[in-house]
């Protein structure tokens, strides 16, 4: 019984972080494209900030995967 609960917790940890990150990345990219469309001369700075923010968001997904692996290791 406990191993099934841990497996569900690991699946939820990975699923929630993946869905939240994908949603946040989509919103961020959309807002960045809007900003570039409004001010094309600022495209370089916006693109740089976008890449950094997307990398940090992706790191959160990697942390969720790490938690899932740690939970699976307890089974």
Quickly state the pLDDT bin for 2 (edges 50, 70, 90): confident
Task: Give per-residue pLDDT as tens, 29-75.
Answer: 999 999 999 999 999 999 999 999 999 999 999 999 999 999 898 87
Domains of the chain, by residue range, sit at 2-73
CATH class of 2-73: mainly alpha
Measuring CA to CA, how many Å separate 73 from each of 8, 18, 66? 13, 20, 11
Does the pTM surpass 0.85? The reply is no
Query: Phi/psi of residue 42, each to 5°?
Result: -100, 15
């Amino acid at each position: 019984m406990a191993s099934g609960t841990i497996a569900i917790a690991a699946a939820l940890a990975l699923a929630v972080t993946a869905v939240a990150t994908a949603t946040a990345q989509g919103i961020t990219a959309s807002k960045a494209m809007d900003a570039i469309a409004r001010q094309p001369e600022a495209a370089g700075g916006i693109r740089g900030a976008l890449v950094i923010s997307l990398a940090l968001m992706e790191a959160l997904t990697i942390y969720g995967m790490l938690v899932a692996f740690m939970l699976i290791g307890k089974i």
